[in-house]
Amino acid sequence: MDLTSRAAALDTEHRDTDLRHLFRLPPGVYLDGNSLGALPAAVPGAVHEVVDRHWGQDLIASWNRHGWWSAPQRVGDRIGRLVGAAPGQVVVGDTTSVALFQAVSAALTLRPDRRAIVIDPASFPTDLYVVAGLAELTGHHVVTASPDGIPALLDSRSDVAVVVASHVDFRTGRLWDLPTVTRAAHRAGAITVWDLSHSAGAVPVELDRHEVDLAVGCGYKYLNGGPGAPAFTYVGHRHQAGYVPAIRAWHGHAEPFAMEPTHRFADDVARARGGTPPMLSLLALEAALGVFDGLDIDDVRRRSSSLTGFLIEALDELAPEVEVVTPRDPEARGSHVSVAHPQAYGMSQALIARGVTGDFRAPDLLRLGVGAPYLTHRDVLHAVRQLRAVLDGGEAEALDGPRRTVT
């Protein structure tokens, strides 16, 4: 079957999970949902309501009347369903960087006699920076290891307090073996902190089932919460009593309105709350999560695997000169596909000019993110055909100048 017919057949096979009607999509093909997810159609109205009625009319009463106060945990539970966390273990509020700082700092206090933090050196830079800064502050030392090397490393040392790793590598799209790394960490007596930014809303995580300790993740990628949407933090039930993050803010106090001069942690996951959350963004995220109502994360995953698999197939057939660096094994792949090419920057720019938005990651990667609910196999094929045209027309070479991109 040719690629056009395959795309049509696969779109028919996956028609139940085609949720494009729930999004506002501009013309073209958007392959950057792993950086900023598309706009769910319900969000503009919800934000208007929050600004106009909650803020504009009801003002301060909205904290109770419109459930502002309970939103971090209410929205957290909705994200929890997507990452395999039973209610009462997820809160939403800070940026991912701050959430990670808080989670790692709390993990260190759970293992006070250990001096090492292990982190994947290929982590998203903010994770490396946060961990390095925290280690400097506390006198811990940082040891780097790729997730597939972490179990062996842990078997050889007894000083590791925390293991920090991303479930999906933001460059290659490699999906790491979370259960194996988590089990190895537990054997070694260490706490795991997973960054789920590139898996939440795209890949099943099953946090409770795998007894993950702590996790954080972005709200604006596959969860489609919008630019600057707050991040989430997961604190497994068994760690809640001992969860003591470095920044003790008043929304995490046992009795915030007692206005006591000293901090006392709430005795549930509310203790992971920070200061006042960004309410407009938080409620935009809540509206965006409506896309997943009635949908199981396994349904999203099936669609995503089919789309990324077909994307690789089309690249192999139509653009064999680019090197697919993302695993071909669907079990080892997140929801984006990256290709390496010396002119990847020019390719990304030429594709954008043709209405296909992916992104460039230095030094030589073109990343194609698949927000499965709003993409079709036809879209994916169109994108690869545009890439073929870019290569044939020498467009990548022409545009491969200074790399000024911010995305």
Ligand X SMILES: Nc1c(O)cccc1C(=O)C[C@H](N)C(=O)O
Ligand Y SMILES: Cc1ncc(COP(=O)(O)O)c(C=O)c1O
Positions touching ligand X (CB under 6 A) are 34-35, 124, 170, 407
Q: Which is nearer to ligand X, 170 or 234 (CB)?
A: 170
Q: Which is nearer to ligand X, 35 or 240 (CB)?
A: 35
How far is 232 from 217, CA to CA, in rounded Å? Answer: 5
CB of 97 to ligand Y, least distance (A): 3
The CA-based diameter of the chain, rounded to the nearest angstrom, is 71
Q: Which is nearer to ligand X, 154 or 375 (CB)?
A: 375
The neighbour count for residue 240, using CB atoms within 10 Å, is 18
Report the amino acid identity of residue 347: M
Task: Classify residue 150 as exposed, middle or buried by CB count within 10 Å of its CB (0-12, 13-18, 19+).
Answer: buried
Task: Report if residue 231 touches ligand Y, rule: CB under 6 A.
Answer: yes
Task: Report if residue 170 touches ligand Y, rule: CB under 6 A.
Answer: yes
CB of 170 to ligand X, least distance (A): 4
Q: Which is nearer to ligand Y, 39 or 128 (CB)?
A: 128
SS3 label, residue 161: strand
Answer with the entry of ligand X, ligand Y, none that 95 interacts with (C-beta below 5 to 8 A by kind): ligand Y
CB of 126 to ligand X, least distance (A): 8
Pick from 11, 32, 120, 195 the residue near ligand Y by CB under 6 A: 195
List the catalytic residues: 124, 195, 220-221, 367
Tokens of 37: 């997810």
CB of 197 to ligand X, least distance (A): 6
How far is 316 from 348, CA to CA, in rounded Å? Answer: 18
Residues 207/236, Cβ–Cβ less than 8 Å: yes
Q: Residue with the closest Cβ to ligand X?
A: 170
SS3 label, residue 37: coil
Closest CA to 211 of 192, 188, 232, 189: 192
Q: Which is nearer to ligand X, 54 or 221 (CB)?
A: 221
Task: Report if residue 197 touches ligand Y, rule: CB under 6 A.
Answer: yes
CB of 124 to ligand X, least distance (A): 6
Closest CA to 335 of 226, 172, 225: 172
CB of 341 to ligand X, least distance (A): 18
For residue 231, the 8-state DSSP code is: P
Q: Which is nearer to ligand Y, 95 or 172 (CB)?
A: 95
Pick from 166, 199, 326, 376 the residue near ligand Y by CB under 6 A: 166
Report the amino acid identity of residue 109: T
**Residues within window 110-139 making contact with ligand Y, judged by CB under 6 A:** 124, 126-127
The neighbour count for residue 220, using CB atoms within 10 Å, is 23
Answer with the entry of ligand Y, ligand X, none that 231 interacts with (C-beta below 5 to 8 A by kind): ligand Y
Answer with the entry of ligand Y, ligand X, none that 126 interacts with (C-beta below 5 to 8 A by kind): ligand Y
Stretch that binds ligand Y, among 195-203, 251-259, 320-328, 351-359 (CB under 6 A): 195-203
SS3 label, residue 130: helix
Residues 305/330, Cβ–Cβ less than 8 Å: yes
Pick from 117, 218, 288, 339 the residue near ligand Y by CB under 6 A: 218
Residues 133/253, Cβ–Cβ less than 8 Å: no
Residue that is written with structure tokens 């759970």 in the block? 110
Q: One symbol per residue from 78 to 97: x for binding ligand Y (CB under 6 A), - otherwise; what is it?
A: -----------------xxx
How far is 96 from 197, CA to CA, in rounded Å? Answer: 8
Binding site for ligand Y (CB under 6 A): 95-97, 124, 126-127, 166, 170, 195, 197-198, 218, 231
